[in-house]
Every structure is written in structure tokens, then in C-alpha cells.
Chains A and B, each alone.
Chain A
Amino acid sequence: MAVDASPPPQWVTDLNSTPTSKPKSSFPDPPGYTAPLSAKQRSQSSKNAAVRQAPTTEEMDTLKMKKAWELAIAPAKQLPMNAIGMYMTGNSLQIFSIFMVFTLFKTPVMAVLALQRTFAPFETPGTSGRMIGVKLVYVLMNLMMLGLGVWKVNKMGLLPTTRSDWLAWEGERTWSERAVPREWL
């Protein structure tokens, strides 16, 4: 077969060997187009990111503490709204107010019971010492909620705080004399 000694056309050359780099062109990229990063660029950029994202454990702990504090204060934020709700429902014994008071008692108690689980994500060797304060505040806040419930129950007259509540336990006096009319004998 006779070998054609003539060089292949340009397009074949272009096809077989893709240019390694983008041909310099004076054309700017169209607006909105981002040129894909080259492998080198990619590796470069990743190298840069690793440098920015090297937080220390202290930083990490501070962050976690911040988050924990937020969680601890959260019940207090609900307090004003709950208080208004409680005030609005009145002191009569109705099914709605009873349910509301029930949740008012249930939520803080359940929250306190689930204390460890709530704060487990923030528990690190570094924060464990400081978490006690956070938890205390959390319990305190829940107790405030509970206090609101107690106040409400008291308003409803369900707390045995007055003399009349203990009247049944008070006895009639025993008199050491018994006087009767004669005709009763």
C-alpha cells in the first residue's frame, strides 16, 4: 500500500492531541460561565481550604458551649408566651385549661429527665466542667416553667394552701361534759 507521505490535516492533529491548555484567546468568557478548574487549580484550591478549616479544640468547645447556652435559655423564651396563655385561660376548671396546665407540668419534668440526652452532643472532655452551669441554668429555666404551672394551679384553687383545705383533718372538740334535759333520761 502506498503510504501517503503528506501530513495529516490540522483537525486530525487537533483531534489526536487535545491542547493541554486552553488556547489563549482574546475572547472573554460569556457572562455566567465559570471555567472548570484544572486539576492543578483544584489541588491548589483544596490546599488553601485545608489551611482555613483547621479549628482548634478550644474553638470547638467554645462553639459547643455557645450552642448549649442557647439550648439552656430556650425554655425561658417560651415563658412569657406561656404566662400570657395561662393568664388568658382564666381560673375556671375547664378541659382546655386543664390540658394546658398538664403540659405546663409535663414539659419541664420531661425536659429535666432528658437532660443528659439533650446535652450529650455538646459533651466533650473540654466542656464537661462548664456544662454543669449550663445544665443548672437549663434546670432552673424548666423550674421556672414548672413554677408558672404551680402558680396557675394555685390560681385555679387546686393547691391546698388555705385552712379550708385542711378542714377535714381538723376534729370537733370533745367536751368533757354532757348535759341533757331531764325528760331525755
Chain B
Amino acid sequence: MRLHAAVLALAATVAPVAAVFEDDAYHIDFHHALVGIPKRASTFFQKPYAGSKASLLYSLSANHTLGAINPKDGALVWRQVPPSGLPSATKSSLRAGEDQDTVVSAVGDRITAWSAADGRLVWEHRVPGAIVEDLEILEQEDGITNAEAKDAIILLSGATSVVQRLDGKTGRVKWTYTDSSGDTPSQVSSSPTTIFYVSLHTPLLGGWTKLKITALSPITGRSIEHVTLNSEVDSSDDIIFAGANTAAPLLAWTDKSKKTLKVNIIGTKGVSSFDVPSTEPVTKVVLHAPNRVNSLSHVLVEYQTETGHSAVVYHVDLMKSTISKAYDLPYLSGKGTFTTSTADANVYFTRVTENEITLVSSASHGVLGRWPVQSSPQLAGSYPVHGVAEVAAKDNTASAVRCAVIFSNGEFALVRNGELVWTRPEYLSGAVSAVWTELPETEALAAELQVESHQNVVAAYIHRVRRHVRDLEYFPAWLQSLPQRLLGNLGSKKDDATIEDIQHDTFGYHKLAVLATDTGRLVALDVGAKGKVMWNVDLSKLAPGVHFSRPALRSFPGYVEIKDKNMPGTLYVNATTGNSLTLTDMTLEPHVPVDGKNLIVFDLVDGDLQGFLGVKAGPGPMGLGEPVWTFTPPDHERIVTYTARPTDDPVASIGVVLGDRRVLYKYLNPNLVLVTTALDAARRISIYLLDSASGQLLYAVSHDGVDTSRPLPSTITENWFSYSFTRIASPNAQSRGYELVVGDLFESAIPDDRGPLGPSSNSSSILPVKGDSAKPHVLTQSYHITEEISHMTVTRTKQGITSRELLVTLPSSHSIYGIPRMVIDPRRPVGRDPTANEQAEGLSRYMPAILFDPKWSLNHKYEVFGIQDVITTPSGLESTSLVLAYGFDVFGTRVSPSFAFDSLGKGFNKVQMLLTVAGLFVGVLFVAPLVSRKQINSLWAVAS
């Protein structure tokens, strides 16, 4: 109808300007800007510049991300994400000199200095082919502190081991010491006068590996002397500490069985040996020492066992070069950790356990402060792993201590005087798969309605009345909550959400997304409540002994199914609580609603895509039926990926209404699969569109001159597909850069025609009724885009009425864009202006390039890093689709591609509306007697 066309035209004019509204930003979306699990010894409090009043918390994480966190509220001040493609075994470290305005990080082959206040790059030093083994900041040179810019000492391993001194201002190499002895480099350390290079020396003729210490001149880098310690070391892993920048740098190591601890003051030959004070086998030994030159040479050795932990404090006598035990911190059962902090020359040790923080001075064992740690749901069931502390102490009385502690559940928390100030869900970094869940309660209502729709009218009516009577028991509670809800509607809503809020959510904004991380955690987030973590479980506790590599999640009403290739069976988890479910207390839902159709399963088998008829029943892993088709790409092309149409993909209209009110019928086949193949040698990619029921090829296209090493994202939905690729930059190529291709499938090229199948309502790809099964008419258009797309998906709504957006992840600008479907409609007229009919449809003239409109950005001011995947789900409102992006960061929002036509915006003033109604009512009360009097007068009064 023309009305329809008018609405479409209206939608066309408004859709391209759809953007995140200013008053919606930061309210409808959330962003967990993560750093990752902080590494021990690379996390510290540091003043961003000399003389700064407050300090920031700097952290280098297990995935080599560098971040500065505000210790007051846990907000991220800045962060630097390492370049992609780092090997997983890369070493990294982070150091900062005292009173410096830079922090220096070493990741892989890069040594980089960052401005401590804002994270800008100051200098970078790259040593291609080498790996930075250790990094230290030279605090003092010949006992004098260089206040301007402290130099960095780096130890590189590669073909030969190299120690370099880098200028603190520019990163220029001041000198290089090359160790060509073939020893394994271990660490560097420094005392106020000397630089020490520690390596593991293995004699050629066999024998024990020994520690070799080379003293280097800080000024010239020449070696002064070699010391080989008369004690054997098994491997580099046994070396637990090589302190730096202290008056007495220490080197400590244990034997293999962790029975004795050996300590050497670097620069001397003597080795002190201490017995481990535990009867239980020690699992971990950690040495804590202050890293200030002017602080006391007191160290704490932490012993962790399976059940508890203890520590011993040693004092180093510099004059005599001896190490003596000062006191014990007694064994406590349960996990805990220790931190070191300094105040002037004093050294304090903080013991952090699950329920208490105690502070002792390094000089004596008297407890200076003791604070019980308040319990909180975030930290429930977890124990501190390691941390850093800052102490405010005066004359042996500690007034306050704040500890930034990483807990075993991956929560990075700041505890100040026992009070939990903030937590950061760092366990979320590295999410590998995610799925939306449905809560069981809402499904129950759906089931009831299903029952009613299948009964006759009378029975359905009785059923409904019964249900309503049953529902009456909730009525008083509902009535009680009504004023609160009304007030909540008028005022601003609280962000705090519980499972109950999700159940009572009218708009369906509160949906749980369950994420699995590469560390084997399963986390449920409420996307409607700013990504609040509803539960967080360790998968390895649910399935002991399994190392989860990449868990595959599937969601069913009420539960989530977890599969992993390292796990033989299947794990079921309650979606509401995160508890493990057994098959006895749950009913399994069918995976794919088949409804009496022939089920065909396809999979990659030896590089070919194969379809199998049905699934073999029986125990054990699911077997496949008879192979029915095989798709072998030509010329030995490699199948990169394949994308199938999602199971739940509602289509509101089966045709596209043209401007002249004719219809182009969409080719809607639920079994479409888009296969992307690559031929690396020929630099060619091919796209094949298959009917995965019959294996029939419906459409194929090839692109030459494509960089096959770059991501090839693709998506398929409704009757259209889209993919993107990168052209190789060669001088004689016609086209360069990144391209986005969009294709529409129609039943016929002619309007008002349903193709060879005609109006028949049934169709089969395997046994076509009329000869050859119908092939779609494919229209494609390609566009140049300004940035590479790493992942693409489409928005999804409940009925599929709302126009769609293609959500693309742009890794180079750390953003996610929603391209309106209208912009990438393949029916845009090429080389001419649109006719009036086409304009009525909202088609604009084809432009070969799409410039990403900043209004399409979903993440506005947020920077989302390392997005692996974006998932979408319908909300309760037809206009709105929920979006969750995960990977390194987690970002969630909701999008309304055709605007929120079914809900009131934030700008709607409910109070004003109510006041207007009330005002009108009062006005009517006043005016009514006047009017009635006038009416009576007009009937009775004599006209004069």
C-alpha cells in the first residue's frame, strides 16, 4: 500500500541519522574496560609525576596489557593494549623509577616508556628478533640519584644474551654488553654502584647448572668480575627473586622439592641456606623485598602450602654480608598473601587473608594494625592471590592501609582498612564465547499460553480463568510494590538489579548473557543493568580435571549447556544461579526444533563441507547419519569459514514492496549457508552460497587480489548476506583497501513473481516438486570502506519488523558501528538518480564508498579493545535489539534501528504530563458550573 511505502520512505529518511542519543549514552550501554589479570611484580602504586599528591595503580596483566587505575574508584585512567599477534609465551614486565613521570614496559621485543599520567608514548626501543628477559630501572648511579630521567637496564635473549642500558629520556642505547658464553640469561639486578647480570651456566661436560653473576660497570657496561655461585640450580623457574635497586640486592632460589631456600647477596660469594619452616610440602615460595634504595634491607619469604601459608622475615646485615632470620609470621590455614610497602626507610609487611588484613613492621613482629575484611558477594568463596599495598604509618602506628589484591576468582579489588572500596571484574577479559539465556519463569508463561492456543475456546477460557485465579496469590505483593514502581517510573531508576528485576522486566531489556572465558570461568551478566555480574563460577570446579580451552555454549530455557573439546561429556548449568545441573533434575530441550522435517547435519570433514541425513541415536558422542552431499571447493581452495542462517530469524514480510506497489519476493530458505574459501597462492577468495539441505550451489563469486591472511567476516540473515575482505595493496591493482559486499536474494527478478515454485506453500530441496529446485535471483553491490572489519553480525528483533543494522567491529578504531540496512541495500540505482518510485522506497543513488558516519557508532566515547564476537538478541520491544560485544573488553548496549517507536524516550516528561492532566481536571471543575449556568440562562432569560 501507498501508506506502507510512505512509512518506508519515512523510515528511510530517518534511519541513516539514527545515533546514540546523548541522554541515552552511559545509561543504556555499559563497558567493562578491562586490563586483565594483573601480574605479580608488575603491579604497583606509583605517583604519576614527582610531587603528585595521589598515586595511581599501574598494572601489567597476564595478557600484556598495561593499565593505570585510579585507586579511589577503580576507574581506568589509561591503558595500552599490546600489538596483536604476540606469542602466548611472551614475557613482559613493567617498572617505574621513583619520582619519574614515565613507566617503562617490556613486552616481547619492545621496550616502551609511557607517560605515567596519560599513557602517551614517550619512547620505544625495539630489538627485532630478541626477547626482553628482564627490565630494571637504574635508581642510583655511584650512589647518586639521577633525578632527571632514570635509565633502564634491559636483558635480552636471542642469538646472544645482551644487556643494554637505555637512556631514560630518549630510549637511546647507552652501552651494550654482549654475553657470548651461551649461558641462559636469567635476570638483571643493580646495586647503587654496580649492575649485575645473572645467568645460568651449564658446563659443557655435564654437571650441575650453576648461577653465574657478572658485575657490570653502570657507566661503560664493561664486565668487572664474574662470580659463579657454588650451588646448583635446576632451572630458571627455581629462581624466585633477584631484587634490584636495594642496598643489598638478593638472589634467592630453591631446590626442586622446595625444601631449602638459598639466598645470596648479589656481589658476594656466600650462599645462606634456610630450611623451609613447614612440615607440609610447600607449593610456592615468594620473596618480598622493598624496592627502594634507602629502605631497610629486610625481606619476607612467603611459603604457600596446599592448605595454608606462613612467612619468615629475614634481616640482611650489609656490613657482615650475612642474612639472619628475624621473626616468623605464623602459619595460618587458608589462603593468603603478603605485600611489602615502604614509608621512608621503614618497611612494612601486610598479610592479606580471606577475612583479615594485618600489618607488621619489618623490624619486629608486633602487629601494628588489624582489620577484618568485610565479606562481599563479589569476593565470596575466593582467596587473595597476590597484591600490593600502600601504608600510611607514623611512628610505628599504622593509620591506614590500602591493598590492591587480585583474588582467585579474578576479581581485582581494593581493600582499604578492611573495607572493600572497589572491584574490577578482570576475569572477564579473554571471553571466548557467549550466549543469551532465557530465564525459566518467563518461559513458563509462554508454555501456558501455548497450552491455551492449542485448546478449544471453552477449555482455553477455563484454563485462563484458572491461571488468573492462581495468579491472584501474587496480587497483594504486586499491589504493595505498585507505589514504589510508580515512583521509580517517575524518578530515575536504580541501576542495581537482581534476578527478580529480570523476571519482572516489562521491556525485556534485562537479559542474562553467559560468557565463558579462556581461564575457564563462566560469568552471567545482566546487560540491562549495566553489565552487572549476576554470578561467576569456575568451570574447572564443576568439571574437575578438565582444562577448558574454548567452551562452546548453548542456551536453553533455564539452563546453559557447555561443551568443550577437552571434556568428554556435556555440562549443564542453571541459568539463574550458575549451579551445576544433573540430568536427573532437569528436562532436556531439543537442540533444533525439527517439527517433523528431515534433519540434515553438516560439518567440515577433511576440508570439505559434508551433509549427513539425520542423527544416529545411541549412547556416546553424537553420530551422524548417511552422507547425502559433499561440497568440495574447486582448485583445492581452503574453507575459511561458513555461516548459516540462524535458527531464530523471524521475517515480518516475505517480499519487498516496490515504489509502484509491486512485490519482489524474498528468497527465504532456512537452510542457507555461506561458505568462504580462500586460495592463498592465487590470492583469491570465493563465496559460495549453498542450500545445506541438498548441498546445491545457489550462488558463487570470486574476488582476486585479496589478502587472505586478513579476517574474512561474513554474515547471513533473512534474504541477504554480507561479507568483507581486504584487497592486497599492489601498484597495478584497480582497487585497494577494504571492501564490503552485500547481496540480496529474491525468488525472481520480476516483480509479482514467485519464481518457479509459484505460490506453492511447501518446498523441498532434496525432492523438488517441479524439476530443478529454484535458484534465487541474487543482487549484489560492493562498497569501499575506510576500515577493516573484523567481525560482523546483524541486529535481531522479536518479529523482524524493524529494519536491520549490520553491526561491524572495527578493530583499528576500537569501535563497533551499526550500518543501517538502507545504506547497503543492493538495489540502490547505479549511475543514475533514483526514480520517484525508488525514492519512495528510500533508495538513494549508489556510491562506491561508504564513509562510516560517526552517528552509526554504538560505543561513542568508549574504546572497545579486542572484540572477538558480537551477539545480538531481541528485547521485549519490537524496536529494540540487545547487543553484547565481548573479547578482551565487554561492551553491551541496545540499538533501535528504526528508533524506539514503541516506547517513550527519556525526554518524555511524565511529571509534566500528569500535571497537565491534573490542571485540566481542575479547570473543568471550575468551568463546569459556569457553563451550566450559561446554558440555563440562555433557555430562561428573556432576550432584551
Contact = CB atoms under 8 A, between A and B. Distances in A.
B594 interface: yes
Contacts of A163: 655, 661-663, 751-752
Interface string B83-101: 0000000000000000000
A47 interface: no
Contact of A174 (B594, B651, B762): B762
Nearest to B754: A170
A162 interface: yes
Contact of A185 (B3, B5, B601, B763): B601
Given A157-B3, A183-B552, A185-B615, A175 B599 contact: no
B693 A175 contact: yes
Interface string B754-777: 000101111111110000000000
A178 B649 CA distance: 14
Given A162-B661, A179-B602, A183-B552, A171 B597 contact: no
Interface in B754-805: 757, 759-767
B624 A167 contact: no
Residue of B554, B668, B670 most packed against chain A (CB within 10 A): B670
A185 to B, nearest CB: 5
B600 interface: yes
25 contacts: A163-B655, A163-B661, A163-B662, A164-B1, A165-B661, A167-B653, A170-B654, A172-B651, A174-B762, A175-B669, A175-B670, A177-B599, A177-B693, A177-B764, A177-B765, A178-B592, A178-B594, A178-B693, A179-B600, A179-B670, A181-B642, A181-B644, A181-B673, A185-B601, A185-B615
Given A163-B662, A177-B597, 12 more contacts: A163-B663, A164-B662, A167-B657, A172-B654, A177-B765, A179-B601, A179-B670, A181-B603, A182-B601, A182-B624, A183-B552, A184-B592
Contacts of A171: 654, 761
Contact of A179 (B5, B624, B661, B693): B693
Interface string B629-659: 0000000000000101001000101110110
Interface in B1-58: 1-6
A170 B601 CA distance: 30
A183 B550 CA distance: 13
B925 interface: no
Contacts of B552: 183
Interface string A141-184: 00000000000000011101011110110111111111111111
Nearest to A173: B763
Contacts of A156: 2
The 3 closest A-B pairs by CB, nearest first: A157-B2, A177-B693, A182-B603
B692 A179 contact: yes
B59 to A, nearest CB: 36
A93 interface: yes
Given A164-B663, A185-B591, A178 B599 contact: yes
B671 interface: yes
Contact of A182 (B1, B602, B654, B669): B602
A164 B655 contact: yes
Contacts of B602: 179-182
A137 B592 CA distance: 67
Contact of A184 (B647, B668, B691, B694): B647
Central interface residue in A160, A171, A177, A183, by most chain B CB within 10 Å: A177
B1 A172 contact: no
Nearest to B752: A163
A182 to B, nearest CB: 4
A171 B552 CA distance: 35
A157 B1 contact: yes
A173 B624 CA distance: 27
A167 B592 contact: no
Given A157-B2, A165-B1, A178 B764 contact: no
Interface string B846-864: 0000000000000000000
A172 B668 contact: yes
Given A181-B602, A183-B552, A176 B597 contact: yes
Interface string B593-622: 011011111110000000100010000001
Interface size class of B (residues with CB under 8 A): 35 or more
Contacts of B554: 184
Contacts of B653: 167-168
A107 B654 CA distance: 40
Residue with the greatest number of chain B CB neighbours at <10 A, chosen from A158, A160, A165: A165
Interface of B: 1-6, 552, 554, 591-592, 594-595, 597-603, 611, 615, 622, 624, 642, 644, 647, 651, 653-655, 657-658, 660-663, 668-671, 673, 691-694, 751-752, 757, 759-767
Contacts of A183: 552, 603
Residue from B597, B611, B642, B668 having most chain A Cβ neighbours under 10 A: B597
B601 A164 contact: no
A15 B345 CA distance: 161
Nearest to B595: A178
A118 B599 CA distance: 72
Given A157-B3, A164-B657, A174 B693 contact: no
Given A177-B671, A179-B602, A167 B655 contact: yes
A107 B925 CA distance: 42
Contacts of A168: 653
Contacts of A158: 1-3
Given A167-B657, A185-B591, A179 B673 contact: yes
A160 B660 CA distance: 13
A77 B670 CA distance: 60
B68 to A, nearest CB: 40
Contacts of B592: 178, 180, 184-185
A32 B598 CA distance: 112
Interface in A90-116: 91, 93
A162 B759 CA distance: 16
Given A164-B663, A171-B654, A178-B594, A185 B671 contact: no
A156 B752 CA distance: 21
Given A165-B661, A177-B693, A178-B693, A184 B591 contact: yes
B119 to A, nearest CB: 40
Given A167-B655, A180-B601, A182-B624, A157 B661 contact: yes
A67 to B, nearest CB: 43
A175 B622 contact: no
B761 A93 contact: no
B766 A177 contact: yes
A174 B595 CA distance: 11
Nearest to B668: A172
A65 B668 CA distance: 66
Nearest to B594: A178
Contacts of A162: 660-663, 752
B597 A173 contact: no
B614 to A, nearest CB: 11
Given A163-B663, A180-B592, A175 B597 contact: yes
B842 to A, nearest CB: 15
A175 B601 contact: no
B611 A160 contact: no
Contacts of B5: 157
A158 B611 CA distance: 48
B599 A180 contact: yes
Contacts of A165: 1, 661
Contacts of B663: 162-164, 167
A171 to B, nearest CB: 6
Nearest to B624: A182
B424 to A, nearest CB: 33
B654 A176 contact: no
Contacts of A175: 597, 669-671, 693, 762-765
Given A162-B661, A164-B1, A177 B655 contact: no
Contacts of A91: 2
B893 to A, nearest CB: 26
A179 B654 contact: no
Contacts of B591: 184-185
A172 B554 CA distance: 27
